[in-house]
Amino acid sequence: MNQHTVFITPDAIGEVRRDLREDLLPLFAEIRQILEENRALDLPGWGALGEWTAGALYRSLIDAFVRDTEAALGVLRTWEGEHLRFAEDNWRVAEELAVRRASRP
């Protein structure tokens, strides 16, 4: 984000959307991919006793992390694609209306 942006403007909201799209969404997608790739261990894995104790816990944690990552991606996509776009559009319209009203005699 531009560190010189001091005021909330449609452009500033657009910068937040770009940061989400270009930085956070790819990061969370990469995290999800890493978790998916590490769901299971190659043989010999945990071994017979380890599978019964640590293996089940490990898979449970990875599954929880994947669900949480999916939830975060869903929220970020909604912010970037809907909520912040809506805010950006509304802010632009509000500024235009304010300028029109201020320019009336």
- Quick: pLDDT tens for 38-58: 887 776 777 777 777 788 888
Determine phi and psi for 41, rounding to 5 degrees.
-95, 145
Candidates 5, 24, 4; CA nearest to 80 is 24
Structure tokens at 16: 């937040």
The residue whose two tokens read 């009203």 is 101
Predicted model pTM: 0.71
Confidence band, pLDDT 50/70/90 cuts, at residue 17: very high
The mean per-residue pLDDT over the stretch 16-34 comes to 94
Confidence band, pLDDT 50/70/90 cuts, at residue 25: very high
Candidates 61, 72, 63; CA nearest to 28 is 72
Question: What distance in Å separates the CA atoms of residue 94 and residue 3, rounded to the nearest whole number?
Answer: 24
DSSP state of 105: -
Residue 5 backbone zone (phi > 0: left; psi -120 to 50: alpha; other: beta): beta
